[in-house]
Structure 1
Amino acid sequence: MSVSPLVWWLTIAGIVALLLFDFVFHVRKAHVPTLREASLWSALYVGIALAFGAGVWLLGGAEPGTEYFAGYVTEKALSVDNLFVFLVIMSSFKVPRADQQKALLFGIVFSLLARSLFILVGAALINTFAWVFYLFGLILLVTAGNLLKPESEESHSPDNLMVRLARRVFPATDTYDGDKLFTVRDGRRAMTPMLLVMIAIGGTDILFALDSIPAIFGLTQDVYIVFTATAFSLLGLRQLYFLIDDLLDRLIYLTYGLAVILGFIGVKLVLHALHENNVPFINEGEPVPVAEISTGLSLSVIVGVLLVTVVASLASPKGRAQNAVSAARRHAQEYLEVEHDPGLREELFAKVCAKERELRALPDKHRRRIREEERLMALLRRVHEEHDRTG
């Protein structure tokens, strides 16, 4: 699809304007978004992305339109999966609920910058070396295999390389100073945990980009479509975080669905690489006559797999049990260790009680497993003792 420099600049200006609007009107003043606010703005950003895709379809044709929607849906699904890691990082650093928006918006901006750089590098490699499709395909197949391995929250350590480097360069405090990035301690300028949270999110964003960019290049090689689909999948991610916070742990099969999708796109890339082959030791450097997977089929598979995995997750008793356990633990920790505002603490206590009722209503086999988690039971008892003491 031919795109003029003017359209490029207008698109970039529009995306920057949306980010600035988000910061000025929502993030600058720390607050906890209501369900209505998160729902309204999530729907608005999704609507903008769909309207843009409709414009691509009408002005560029059916093929670019299909490529955009396939890329957008794939990147959005990967972004939702990444929200779980953001949740782990936020919990590890005990970020107050009202200040999480600022950290999330930074993560979105950093992710957009990092992925834009990877898009430029990926496009340059594809235009120069045909064998890059083999490499991208291999990356996606390996990633799909890794997603199938069982992992826990502990596997997502917030103390990544960038955080360790930051701690070595600057002194850091253990307490927050509102949503400030730096504060003064003993007469010296020091980082607050808020800056460390942003650095941790930025470090994980780089790893996410290594998976997501090959995935979308497997669906389209049009740089404009790659960039816009990636950008619009990230816009609105902050609002989505607060909207589906209590459902993140419920999507227990999403990772498996993403593994299938990435594996499928990996195979698509390898087939395309064989079709365009010029590697000397494969078929003597000549293209291999193999069938290629169409973009329309790719979009159908992606949407179908996501629908099946999301519906299966929401209908699963195991998913309900896991969601109740994880949410109860998270809300209890926030009540005891993070939040100090009386109103927010009362809301958290109500959430803890609601999750306890869900735990008691679970089937016996799940309740037996939960009772064995003495740490969770002890944590819930501490919440009630603290509430009785302060109430």
Structure 2
Amino acid sequence: MTAPTASRATRPELLLNPRDYASAARARLDRPVWDYIAGGSGDEVTLREDRAAYDRYRLRPRALVDVSRCDTATTLLGRPVAFPVGIAPMAYHQLVHPDGETATVRAAGTVGALTIASTFSSIPLEEIAGAAAGPLWLQLYVMRHREVTASLVRRAEAAGYQALVVTVDTPRMARRERDLRNGFRLPPHIRPANLDEDHDPGLYQGSSGSSTLAAHAARHHDAAFTWDDLAWLRSLTDLPLVLKGVLTAEDARRAAGLGVAGLIVSTHGGRQLDGAVPALEALPEVVAAAGDRCDVLVDGGVRRGTDVLKALALGARAVLVGRPVLWGLAVDGEAGATQVLSALREELEEAMALTGRPRLDAIAPDLLHRSAHLSPHLTDDDRELA
């Protein structure tokens, strides 16, 4: 006699991948919070295309290769990491879980992944560093009041961050219509913990009809920051500089020539210029232009281990994931974020084995076939969870 099974109503959720966690997170979060995280700018064309770009590539497996052990270890800026996936900088993790960035950085440490903490974290950067057990970089927005930026640099050095990631695709914040319709504001108990409210009274709750980040950017981001100003930033620190938001060979070539240590090919999660080239499609030209002068990473649209494999085949040193980590955090705190990252690592190892590429240095463009067919039609629900 077989044992009775749980009914559909009482059976625990079986969450196996980022899409599962996204679906569960959407059911738990208030709609304005979900929209703030899931949404993009304008018509969200780039948001969708960042994901669809991965589906336009197919894999060409090689047979009869010894894949009894697949090694995912690599280095980033000369430091070892256990596998080539990291957490992209995202603001306000406490929107989805009270442990916030402390939980996500611990999750990264558990699986040996890089964390890039945001200027707009909801936990102070020093506390994030105190909880870190793996590589840790700090993302910077350059502010009009340069002393604000300089102070963040000094704090990052003192706390033990290993690199600074300068976001270069936000001279102004793009219109994010979901936030505008929702009149998104931070809840009273959440604030940008790294910034001094004295510089911006009322910052923490934003202004009517605009998001907090958009309101702050309009007042404080330095839209006049140029290549020439990188020398000023370089003069503040010996930490390696990484530029985030590079999508062209021209900018990659110039950055590499100025001694930048790394580049992140990124569309800001589809939240800045709508209609921009998808990050994965921009990746090959950035890699070619940078050559071996700096590490190139990519973010946007990564949901499976096979996506990681495709990005590596196109020349990325590593990939960054954002929303999936927040979905895991929303559902089950540190354990959920850990599970999302662990699933990506397991899937990458599986994909390496099934394609006959047991080492990262064996992953090359010949692994890929560019499909002539467009990605399958996505329903609105599919787009929400992508």
Shared fold per TM-score greater than 0.5: no
Structure showing greater Rg: 1
Higher relative contact order (CA closer than 8 Å, sequence separation 6+): 2
What is the TM-score normalised by the length of structure 2?
A: 0.24
Decide which structure has greater strand share.
2
